[in-house]
A and B are shown apart, each in its own frame.
Chain A
Amino acid sequence: MNSSRRIKLQVFRVVVFVVMGAFFITPLIAMFEFSTRGNGENAPRTLEAWASIFKTPDMVDAITASLQLAAITSIAMLILLLPTMVWVRLRLPRLNRIVEFICLLPLTVPAIALVVGLRPIYVWININVTDSILALAFAYVVLVLPYAYRSLDAGLAAIDIKTLSEAARSLGAGWLTVMWRVIVPNMSSAILNACLLSVALVLGEYTVANLLNFENLQVAIAYVGLVSAGTSVAVALASLVFAFVLLMVISFIGRRRTPSLAAAGTDPQYLTAGQRT
C-alpha cells in the first residue's frame, strides 16, 4: 500500500471515528447539561439532581434488582443454552435448525404481545411461587435468547467441538468435564459476548417490567421522570455510563483470557521484532 493511500485511509478512519463518537456522545453531553441545570433562568449549575438519585425512594432497590436480574438472566441463559447447543451439535445435528428457529422466535414477537402471553403465567407465579422482581428473569431469558444464540453459535462454529470432545472423552473425561474444561474455555469470547448482550438488554429493559408491574431500573427512571425530570435524566445517564463501564470491564477480562494473547505474552519466541527487548 503506498503512503498517500495509507494517509487517506487513516483520515477516513479518523473521520468515521469522530462522526460516530459525536453521534454517541452528543446526547450524553446534552443529558449531562440538562441534569445539571439549576432552577430558574440564570441559576448556576448544580449537581442536586445527581445527589437526589440515592434519596429517591426505591431507586437503589431498582438498580440492585436490575443488576441481579442481569446476572441471573446471563447465568440462566448459559445453563439453558450452552449445553443444549453443544448436545444438538454433537448428537442431534438434524435438530439444529429447529433449535435455531425457537431461539430466534422472540425477535419476531413484539414485547407487548409477549407480555399478553406471559401475564397469566406471572399471575400464577406471583400467587404460588414468588412475587419478587427476580421472577422477571424467566421472561428475560426468553428475550435474550436470539442474541445469545447467535453469539454462542458463532463460538461453536469456530472450534472443532466434535473432535475436541471426543479427544477429551477418550482421555477419560465425563461430559461435565468436557463442557467445563474443554468447550467453555475455548469459546470464552463467545460466552462473554452472549453475557454482554444479555446484561445490556436486561439493564435497558422497560416494557415487560412495566406491563407486568415490576419496578426495575428503567421503570424507576420513568417514575422519577414524572416527578423530577433532572433526576430522571441523571439516573438514565448514570445507568448508561455504568452499563458502558461494566461491559468494558467484562470485555477486558474476557480478552485477557484468550489463549493466543496469553501465548504471545508468555513465550518470548512469539513476540514480534518490535516487541522484543
Chain B
Amino acid sequence: MSTTSTETRARSGVEVRLEDLRKVYSGVTALDGLSLTIGQGELVALLGPSGCGKTTAMRLVAGLEEANGGRVVIGGQDVTNLGANKREIGMVFQAYSLFPHMTATQNVEFGLQLHKVGVDERRKRAREMLDLVGLSAHSNKYASQMSGGQQQRVALARALAIQPKVLLLDEPLSALDARVRARLRDEIRRVQLEVGITTLFVTHDQEEALAIADRVGVMNRGRLEQLGPPTAIYSRPATPFVAEFVGLTNRLEGNVRNGEVEVRGVRLPLVKPDTADGPATALIRPEAVSLGSDGDAGGGALVGTVIAVSFLGATSRVTVDLGDVILLAQMPTSQASDHPAGSRVRLTLRPDPVLIARDEKAAAEA
C-alpha cells in the first residue's frame, strides 16, 4: 500500500482503555462500571442483546454521550471530557451516514478538509482510501446511487481517511443482506489488519463477532460478562448468560453433587467444581450430544425420537424429542443422515465440563 497507510499504521496503533465507565439514562443504568482495555491494533467486538449497553459504551468512546462516571483513555490521553470532534476517532454507523449532497470522493475528503489537509494531498488520500475499499470506480457517485454495502464501504474509507487513532464500528453490517454482510465483514477485517488500527466493533450478531474479532466481550445489563478470544467465548463460556447467548445450548435438569452434575443418569464434570450441591440446569452444547441408532433396543432417560433434521452444509442439526424435553444435537451431515425424522435414537452426552444455570429459589429449598 501507499505511504498513507504506512503513516496510518504508525499513528493508529494506540491502546484504548475504558475505566469503570458508567452511564445512566433517566434513572435507568445503561452502563454499570465497564472496564475494558483494547490493545494496540486489536479488534475487540462487543456482543450482547439489545439494551445491554454495548452501543452506549461505543458512544462514550466516541464522545457522542457524556459519561456519568469513569474514564476513557486513548493512547495514554484522558479524553473523557473532550468533544467528539476533538477525539480523533473514525466511526462507521449502523444507519447509512454518507452526506447525501456529496459524492463518494467529497464524503471522504470532508474530514480531511476539516483537518486542513491541502487540496492535492486530500485528493490523493481520498483516492487511496476509496481504492482500499475497492470503490475507486464509484468515486463520483452520490449515496443515492450506491448500494447499502457500497455506502458502508465509503463510510469506512471516510472514517479511515482522517487517520484516526481508533476506529469505531457501530453495527455497520446490520442493515445489509446476508451475503453482502458476510463479504463486507471479511473486507472490514482485511482493511483493519492492513491499516493496523485499534478497533471497537459493536454487534448483536454472534457469528459476526466471533468471525471478525481478536477478542469478544459479551455484555449483559451494562456489564461485561466475559472477555476473551472467540474460541474461549464459545467453548469455555464463563457464565450461563454467555453460554446461552453465544451459540445454541441445551438445558437439561440435573443435580449437582460432589463437584459433578448428574443429568439423566449421566455424570458430567462442572466448569466450576466448587458449585454447591443441589438441583440445577446443565447447559450442554449440541456438539456435545451424539446419537446412536440403538434407540429401539430399550427405553431410558436418553432415548427419544428424531423430529427434525436441519441441513447446515457440512454439519446438520438434529432435533430429538425425549418426551419431556427437546434436545438439539449437531454433527457431520454424513452422520446425521443415518437418523431421519421419525427414527428412534439413543443420545450420548460427551463428558465435557458443563456450566450450570441455577434457580436460586430451588437451590435454597434443597
Q: Are A and B associated in one complex?
A: yes
In the complex, chain A residues whose CB is within 8 Å of the CB of B83: 169
Q: Do residues A171 and B111 form an inter-chain contact, with CB atoms below 8 A?
A: yes
Identify whether the interface residues of A are mostly helix, strand, loop, or mixed.
helix
Report the bound CA distance from A186 to B87 in whole Å. Answer: 26
Determine if B142 and A166 form an interchain contact, defined as CB atoms under 8 angstroms apart. Answer: no
Type the 1/0 row for B93-105, where 1 means its CB is closer than 8 Å to any CB of A: 1011101111100
User: Which A residues are in CB contact (< 8 Å) with B97?
Assistant: 160, 163-164, 166-167
Q: Which of A120-128, A206-214, A230-238, A260-268 is the contact stretch?
A: A260-268
Tell me the complex Cα distance, A173–B110, Å: 9
Distance A172 CA – B116 CA, assembled complex (angstroms): 11
Interface assignment of B141: CB less than 8 Å from any CB of chain A: yes
Assuming the contacts A160-B95, A163-B95, A185-B101, asked whether A171 and B162 have C-beta atoms less than 8 A apart, the reply is yes
Residues of A226-277 whose CB lies within 8 A of B: 259-260, 263, 266-267, 270
The reply on B144 being an interface residue by CB < 8 A is: yes
Bound: A260/B145 CA distance, A: 9
In the complex, whether B115 has a CB less than 8 A from a CB of chain A is yes
A6–B96 Cα distance when bound, in Å, is: 38
Chain A, 147-189, contact with B by CB distance < 8 Å: what is the 0/1 string? 0000000000001100110111111111001000110011000
Taking the nearest CB of chain B, how far is it from the CB of A254, in angstroms? 13
Contacts of B90 in A (CB 8 A): 170-171
Contacts of A270 in B (CB 8 A): 145
Say whether A263 contacts B142, CB under 8 Å.
Answer: yes
Residue in A160, A163, A170 with the greatest tally of chain B CB atoms within 10 Å: A170
Smallest CB–CB gap between B137 and chain A, Å?
10
How many Å from the CB of B252 to the closest CB on chain A? Answer: 45
Contact with A along B62-90 (1 / 0, CB 8 A): 11100000000000000000011111111
A110 to chain B, nearest CB (A): 41
- Closest CB in chain B relative to A241 CB, distance in Å: 33
Q: Of B64, B115, B142, which is within 8 A of A259 by CB?
A: B142
Interface membership of B140, Cβ < 8 A: yes
> Closest A-chain residue to B93, C-beta based?
A163
Assembled-state Cα–Cα distance A182/B102 (Å): 9
Complex CA–CA separation, A160 to B97 (angstroms): 8
Residue of A nearest to B59 (CB): A166
Cβ of B354 < 8 Å from any Cβ of A?
Answer: no
Give chain B residues whose Cβ lies under 8 Å from the Cβ of A172: 85-86, 88, 111, 114-115, 162
Q: Is B91 an interface residue (CB 8 A)?
A: yes
Bound complex: CA A253 to CA B41 (Å): 49
Chain B residue contacts of A185, Cβ below 8 A: 99, 101
B155 closest partner in A (C-beta): A167
Q: Is the CB of B110 within 8 A of A171?
A: yes
- Provide a sorted-by-A list of 27 A–B residue pairs whose CB atoms are within 8 angstroms: A160-B96, A163-B95, A163-B97, A164-B97, A166-B64, A166-B91, A167-B91, A167-B99, A169-B64, A169-B83, A170-B64, A170-B90, A170-B91, A171-B85, A171-B110, A171-B114, A172-B85, A172-B114, A173-B85, A173-B110, A173-B114, A174-B85, A259-B102, A260-B142, A263-B142, A263-B144, A263-B145
9 closest cross-chain pairs (CB), A and B: A171-B111, A167-B97, A172-B114, A170-B91, A169-B84, A259-B101, A185-B101, A263-B142, A163-B95
Which residues of B are in contact with A by a Cβ distance under 8 Å?
Answer: 62-64, 83-91, 93, 95-97, 99-103, 110-111, 114-115, 140-142, 144-145, 155, 158-159, 162, 168
Q: What 17 new A-B contacts, CB under 8 Å, besides A166-B62, A170-B89, A263-B144?
A: A163-B96, A164-B97, A164-B99, A166-B64, A166-B84, A167-B97, A167-B99, A170-B64, A170-B91, A171-B90, A171-B111, A172-B111, A186-B100, A259-B142, A259-B144, A260-B144, A263-B145
